Amino acid sequence: MLVSFFSLAQNRLIVNTDQGDIKINKHIYGHFAEHLGRSIYGGIWVGPDSDIPNEDGYRKDVMEALINLEIPNLRWPGGCFADEYHWTDGIGDPAERPKMVNTHWGGVTEDNSFGTHEFMNFAKKIGTEPYITGNVGSGSVEEMSKWIEYINFDGVSPMADLRKRNGQDEPWGIRYWGVGNESWGCGGNMTPEYYANEYRRYATYARNYGGNRLYKIAGGANNWDYNWTEVLMKNIPLNMMDGLSLHYYTIAGSWENKKSATDFDKETYLETLRKAAFIDELIKRHGTIMDKYDPEKRIGMIIDEWGTWFEVEPGTNPGFLYQQNTMRDAHVAAISLNIFNKNADRVHMANIAQTVNVLQAIILTNETDLILTPTYHVFDLYKPHKDATLLSHDLKSEEVSFGKEKMEALNVSTSRSEDGTVNISIANINPDKKIDLDVVLRGIDAKNITAEYITAPAINSHNTFENKEVVKKAAFKDFKLNKENLKVSVPANSIIMLRAK
């Protein structure tokens, strides 16, 4: 009997490089900035009079980092905050803007100095598409409808005129609108039947202006609340929505004790990664319900909040959700993004929570400086997957186990860029063992391989203001190409992006 060399290999990956017809929507690599803790204030916005280097009030260092990442969209103003936010408080002369209490997040005073114009200008400066969530919980249909008119109407109308008086002649033409947030919880504690009706009212008056067709996103389920998805899909006419959201956070331990972001053992590490990978099952199960009503998969599953949620850093405000970010977070990001890619026929957008200083942040700041977290570097490595064609593959991977936890050590995603380059992201979650991986590139005569990676000595390695480059992106060279066969030595605790042409 003939046994091929590759079927003997313990770890092997076969990539069908010349197949595939599903595009990985670049919006899967989206972000989220809420009025929460030091996300907006101090993280993005310091005001034009600040000593912190800024451009028109926006932190220069943060802008630069986000421009480099080419983030496709940014969700704002929340989160739970969105359902308490009244947009008219955040326009006009900043000195005249009313203040409010941010009851969800630390009970601090929100002075509304960062409002619609500040957000829209920021999105323009960093070259990203805005995604706004309207207030359904404590707002009104009229309020949201007028916000859309203010932002998008190009003719003469009370709201368009008000926008012009506030210094913006041209409409911004925003496409992505969320109709409420977590309406089953902080967004109004509604039943799915009640929210479905509310959605229909709000969506009716969310008008298209000036040839701009809105992409309306209904507030979807939390975790495994499949009934929520079923009721919404059944009760909302399909032509009234474009997306249905899903929120899923990865915790270690329980909600009551979410454990430290930096101090954890190997079993907890693997528990966290297993829980992150659970989103695959959620996508499948919610997706099956969506398929029943929308077999064409026109409606996007919009995972507009995902990421890790640990205990806050000691000594920080518990309402500010400020946590450190380690190689464990990097692996959570790699696994999650690989899963979103794999389900790209249904997952049309995703937004990591959150961009700066909150939860699984890609950037942490203090008064004078900034850290790019390991999660930032994963998004940086994964750039080639954006808008690339998803490729099917077959992976055989050894396992890694600690205590009662066990997972496959390798986690992979494969895609083909428009110019034919094949992209392979590989995470080795085993913190202790380098893995030799045999890769078969079927259908391409690759001549040239380039690769970058991140790695670190420990699963809790992270960057600090004192040492900002413990985890950083570097060139990766430990591979050998022989015709269609590629041998890769995947370092322990690493994430690689290989590109074959």
Contact footprint for ligand AHR (CB under 6 A): 34, 78-80, 181-182, 305, 353-354, 359
Beta carbon of residue 251, minimum distance to ligand AHR (angstroms, whole number):
12
Residue 111: CB atoms within 10 Å: 16
Beta carbon of residue 253, minimum distance to ligand AHR (angstroms, whole number):
17
Select which of 84, 271, 305, 311 is catalytic.
305
Instruction: Decide if 305 is catalytic.
Output: yes
Q: Of the candidates 151, 153, 138, 140, which has an alpha carbon nearest to the alpha carbon of residue 202?
A: 140
Contact between residue 130 and residue 176 where contact means Cβ atoms under 8 Å apart: yes
Instruction: Decide if 367 is catalytic.
Output: no
For the CA atoms of 263, 330, 68, 181, the dihedral, rounded to the nearest 10 degrees, stands at -90
Residue 54 or residue 323: which is nearer to ligand AHR going by CB? 323
Helix axes 327-342, 279-293, angle to 10 degrees: 20
Residue 9 or residue 251: which is nearer to ligand AHR going by CB? 251
Output phi, psi for 352, to 5 deg: -70, 145
Helix (H) / strand (E) element for 341: namely helix 327-342
Residue 16 or residue 103: which is nearer to ligand AHR going by CB? 103
**Residue with the CB atom nearest ligand AHR in the bound state:** 79
Residue 15 or residue 276: which is nearer to ligand AHR going by CB? 276
Between strands 100-102 and 108-110, the pairing is antiparallel
Residue 108 or residue 395: which is nearer to ligand AHR going by CB? 108
Residue 241 or residue 359: which is nearer to ligand AHR going by CB? 359
Both tokens of 332, joined, read 């959570």
Helix (H) / strand (E) element for 435: namely strand 435-442
Query: What type of residue is 215?
Result: Y
Query: What type of residue is 147?
Result: W
**C-alpha separations of 65 from 142, 296, 326 in Å:** 37, 38, 18
Beta carbon of residue 239, minimum distance to ligand AHR (angstroms, whole number):
27
Give the C-alpha separation, 69 to 377, whole Å: 9
Give the C-alpha separation, 382 to 329, whole Å: 15
Beta carbon of residue 303, minimum distance to ligand AHR (angstroms, whole number):
12
Residue 54 or residue 354: which is nearer to ligand AHR going by CB? 354
Beta carbon of residue 223, minimum distance to ligand AHR (angstroms, whole number):
11
- DSSP letters, 63-103, are HHHHHHHT-SEEEES-SGGGGG--GGGGSS-GGGPPPEEET
Give the C-alpha separation, 151 to 76, whole Å: 14
Select which of 182, 198, 271, 311 is catalytic.
182
Residue 311 or residue 438: which is nearer to ligand AHR going by CB? 311
For the CA atoms of 57, 59, 64, 69, the dihedral, rounded to the nearest 10 degrees, stands at -100
- Beta partners for residue 110, in sequence order: 100
Rg from Cα positions in the chain = 23
Beta carbon of residue 81, minimum distance to ligand AHR (angstroms, whole number):
6
Beta carbon of residue 187, minimum distance to ligand AHR (angstroms, whole number):
8
Contact between residue 379 and residue 64 where contact means Cβ atoms under 8 Å apart: no
List of residues 6+ apart from 51 with CB closer than 8 A: none
- Beta partners for residue 390, in sequence order: 415
Beta carbon of residue 359, minimum distance to ligand AHR (angstroms, whole number):
6
Give the C-alpha separation, 393 to 423, whole Å: 12
Residue 148 or residue 352: which is nearer to ligand AHR going by CB? 352
Beta carbon of residue 496, minimum distance to ligand AHR (angstroms, whole number):
29
Residues marked active site are found at: 182, 305
